[in-house]
Structure formats: C-alpha cells, structure tokens
Structure 1
Amino acid sequence: MRKIVAYFLGVFLVFALGYQLMDPSFLLIADWLGPLFGSPLLVALMSIFLLLGDPLRFTVLLAIWGGVALLGGVIIRRRVSAVATMAAVYLFFLSVLAASVFDIIQTVSELGLIGGQQSPFSLLPPIPPGLTIARILEAPIVGRILEPLLGMIGTGTGVEAQRLIMDLATPLLIDFAEKLGVVCLAALAGTEVGRRIEPRFAPWSEGLRIKLGGRPGPFSAPAAARRAVLPGILSLILL
C-alpha cells in the first residue's frame, strides 16, 4: 500500500513541479508551436527537461528528483522497495516522453511536413514576442542537441556522423544517469529518515490502519500485548 501511495504521489509531484519550474524558454517554444503539435509538445519538452537536463547546471532538477525520492523513501521505509519504486517513477517519464514524441511524429505525418509539396516553414505560426532564435538555442538541452545536428549536415562521411551522434548522446546519457543516481540515494536517505520518525507516528498510523480494516502491525499495542501474554499462557499449559 505504501509503495502504491509513494508511486502515484511521486508521479503527480514530478508532473506538477516539472511544469511549474520548467525553463521559461520551453514554455515560449510550446506557445509558439502548440497550435501545430498540441499538448504533446509541452509534455515532451517537460519530460526532456526532467530526464536530460544537466542537474549540475539546473539545480531545480536536483530539488525535484531529490525531494520527491526523499519523500517516497520516508513513506515506504524499506530500502529496496523505496529505491525500486522511486526509480520506477523516474523511468515512467521515459514512457511519457516516448508517447509524446510518437504523437508529434503522427502530427508531422498528417500535416505533410516531411516529404510534402509545401515548405514546412510555411505552416509555422509567427514567433511570439520574447522568443528569438538565440533564446531557442540557449534553452536547456536544445542548444546541445542542435549544434551537433547542424554540424552533421556538413559532414560527408558516415564516420564523422557517427562521431557527432556519440558526442551528442554521451553527455545526455550521463545527465540521465546522474539524476537516476540522485533518485536512488535520496530514496535511501528518505528510508533512514522515515525509520527514525516512524515511532512518533506509530500510534496514529496503527489507529488509521485498524479503522481502514487492516490488520494491526507487528509493533502495534494489541500485537505487543498478545506477545506479552503468550509466554504466560504457555507456562500455564505446561504446568
């Protein structure tokens, strides 16, 4: 039960915080291209920022993932379960990103932006105020992706193109792995914090468990009383 609560709470918090704390440049890009691609574009940009952003440059990512994983560890209070559940929350956004990109590709195909007779630029809405090409290139991750891709256009050999792809993918994978490590460490820390504060909330937690129809925990007052009485009963039987 605690794992389920921590999982869905973690997904909700990451969605909410990711949208609220996303870089303003991404919001401007979503406002610009939103009429063409709809909400999947905003979700894709948010997922890219959450998964592929540099946590050392954008400390808000450390706060989001570390805080959510810490809270999940406090709720679950089991090391392996906490790490597995919070890692599942993190990896869930890979599926969100994949689904959003798939929707965008379908929209591109329906609009005939690739292989169509008309120029793709003719369908683009006007750039909104406050958004410039320079700001697009300075947006998190966008510049790191576009620069190697633009360099790939001028390459004439497959070896150079492969090297550019590796130069593009390697830092993004490192950033992805760094945040996954932060999630696991924060979940472990939350587990220890939860175990330390658990005795203070044990009576309230056990009372709520019983009211909801659950069985008393092994350290609840009724269970402790039964364990204390059991040796006396066994002694009387043996006598």
Structure 2
Amino acid sequence: MEIGTRALGLAEQTGDPTAAAFERANIAELRLLLEEPDSARALAEQAAAGAEAYDAWCLPYALTTLARVRVFQGEPARATPLLDRAEAVATALGDRQAGHEVRTARAEFALRARRPHQALGVLAGHTDEAPVLVAWAELLSGRPEAALPLARAEVTRARHTGERLAEVEARIALGASLSRLARKPDGTKELVRAEKLAEALPYPAGTRRAARARDLLREPWPPRVTTTPTPRRTPT
C-alpha cells in the first residue's frame, strides 16, 4: 500500500492525469483486498472519471476496478455495463492485459453467482492465465479431480516466485479440492496454512475467502449451481 501511495504521489507531481488515474485504480484494488470498500470506491470512481476525461489507455483498467467494487458492495447489475465498456475499449486498443483483467473479473462474478459453467466459458483457452479461477469453476461444477492439479500446480508456482497473495488463493482452492476428494485431513491442513499466511500478510480478503470455502464444504455435495444459459454477447 505504501508503494502504491508513493507512486500516486509521484504521478500527481508530474501532472500526468493518466498516470494518476492508473495508480488510483491500483490502490483501489489494494483497498478491496484489505476490505476497505468505501475507500476503494472513492478511488475507483476518481480513476474512472480521470481516465474517461482524457480518453486514456488505462480506462479499461479503471472501469474493471470500479466493476469489482460494485460487485463487492452488492451492485452486480451496475458492474456488467462497466465491464462491457472496458472490454470494448481494451479490444479497440489491442491491450491484451486489459482484456485479461476484464475476463478474470467476469469469471469472478460468475463464480460468485454460482455459475461455474459460465466462468469456464469465459476462461476457455486461458487456463494458464487464471488457474485458480478455473479450479474453482471445476470444483463448483462437481469435478474436484479436475480442480486438484490446477490448484496444486499454482501453489507450487506461487511459492517458488514468492507471490504470497496468489499462494493464499491457490491453497484455499487446493484445500477445498482435497476435502471434496475425501482427503479431508489434507484439505483442512491446506486451508489452515492459507489462513495463517493470509493473517500474517495481512490479507483480509484471503481470510474471508478461506471462511467461505469452509462454508462451501459444509454444503451438500454435489453442489447446486445455476445452469440457466447466459445469452452470448455480440462481439465488439
């Protein structure tokens, strides 16, 4: 957070509104991870407004961040138009990274709504870019055997590269997968490791997601999911 705040200060000092908008979007994402939605919302709205005013390259990033804030605060209907716009701009700019951000946000929202098949459709051909999301989509589709290798490989990768937030997320998915494969002691161990790492960082969002995973494991199996087909969007 300190690094992000310093980067925003430097961007503001240079008088570059585009850089400032991008840094505000970055800090808004961090505020969400710290479960500070009001601060995240203010920053995300400022980022989107700033990027919009200058038709900046960072507009899709700012819009995607604002969409995540909307969903976190229980306003999913207001998030979809933001993602549609972000995707259109990213496509027009040929920005693959921005496209990835939009794609993962759509998958996250689909998983929140218990539509794992929709998430798998969004992530088709992009498993390597979002292995934990695909693992959760497989798990919520009733296929823990497909989720397990994805989660385990991501734990190994994240641990070796020192990406501790990613490691927390991967361990949660690994713990849930193991538990659903009748390996509850191993699954519980992974969830505890994820929680301890999240608390040590600190990473409140990780702690909350571990708690949600435990709640999920107490639900009847196989999971009940929403299977109503989602209409295909016309490519922009």
TM-score (norm 2): 0.24
Which structure: larger Rg? 1
Q: TM-score, structure 1 length as denominator?
A: 0.24
Higher relative contact order (CA 8 A, sep 6+): 1
